[in-house]
Structure 1
Amino acid sequence: MNQTEFTRLLAEKGVECGANQLQQFETYYQLLVEWNEKMNLTGITEREAVYEKHFFDSISLAFFVPMNRQSNLADIGSGAGFPSVPLKICFPHLSVTIVDSLSKRISFLKELVRSLELENVECIHGRAEDVARVPDYRDKFDLVTARAVARLSVLNEFCLPFVRPGGLFAAMKGADPDDEIDDAQKSLRELKGRLREVHRLQLPIELSDRHVVIIDKTDKTPSKYPRKAGTPLKQPL
């Protein structure tokens, strides 16, 4: 996927990408490859694959969630900045908070934010379970995302505590998530989440399947959640 295809395919979905934004994506690509030689950020480094499998895939969330109605976004376990940084480039009004447990990745993300001259982006080094206990981040975000981080029963405990009542959690998945959704029923009840819908799409060139699971936050997070760091992965709800 070259930049011309990238721009055209996004425009077909109602997402506009101007010259400045395309330059930001190109800088993002260059930094990703440069830093990837020093640390493991991604196994995908070929330009056209990065544009499709990382940039386009990240922005695909905007096909199903009206970004203009969201004022702030939290990205949990963001890795190399997906999906939050591509979304921020396309929707500059978003205030973005990125949480990742690896300090090296946070160093990359801070350099990326500086190089792209992005405003209102905060990069936090910490475990989701710990950061979600901080009052400034708990029950605060219109939209929370996670892309291919863990099974939904675990993700709900990582992510729903960040969502404000009435807000949305969007889990971005590859394979069909039906089994994960069945397994996640208890975690949804406990963490005040309610499944709204599941969207399916295919990447436009590679044609691999993607799924976006949209969950409504119905009430404030109960005080006992999230449990201490490490517990959700070892003992999913």
Structure 2
Amino acid sequence: MGSTNAEAMNAAMSGDAGKTWFAALQQTEGRGRRGRAWESPHGNLAASLMMVPDAPAAGLAGLGFVAGVALNAALARLIPAAAIRGGIDGADGTAGGGRARIALKWPNDVLADGAKLAGILLEAQKRPDGRTAIVIGIGVNVVAAPEGLPYPATSLATLGAPFDAPSVFEALAESWVECYEIWNNGAGTSRIINRWRQSAAGIGAEVAVQRGDGVLRGIFETIDDAGHLIVRDDEGHRIAIAAGDVHFGTTATLR
């Protein structure tokens, strides 16, 4: 398949009622944020959920956090908690008061041992009937991770988790149902973001955020209830960031 997101959006524009998954074992035209290519060899999971929610347009971005919480929960169940090691680039998460192998990286990645294991891409488009279609694309490195990236990436196979893409999809679909019910057409956004925050990588660590106007460095304080990254800069100002590329640890301190 070229792109599950493209297939899902085509269905939305053709009048599909939504709540439909589009999944593939390989994508030839996968993409990530800002139109970046995302490699997906055969055996990895590419899945897109198309929805036409009955929720205020301003709250639809919360679905990205629903997807993050659902994917994080699914992967945490699949990957054993044993043999925990320090996260690459200072990106450990926490669970039960200790380190967690699986953590959420703002705004749309899932990390395992600090390396990228999965990514999420949220796209929206107005349909001919005036309603907004949302496509939530999810890619999981099941059998292999892309090489030559400017950041570390890993796969379930590398982590010693013997699961195939259908098993990962099944776990994801189950988690999605639970998290979507909590979201409740936007009424439960704060509950979802609180769950996201509890699994966030890098809170309290040095962070560098690449934005269109340059790089902001400081301490990653929290995610606010609107889903913004809150960074405290060197002068003590708390800055809310709606979009940007995040780097932790050593990378964050490079000048």
- TM-score, normalised relative to structure 2: 0.27
Larger RCO (alpha carbons 8 Å, 6+ apart):
2
> Highest CA radius of gyration, 1 or 2?
2
Q: Tell me which protein shows more helix as a share of its residues.
A: 1
- TM-score, normalised relative to structure 1: 0.29
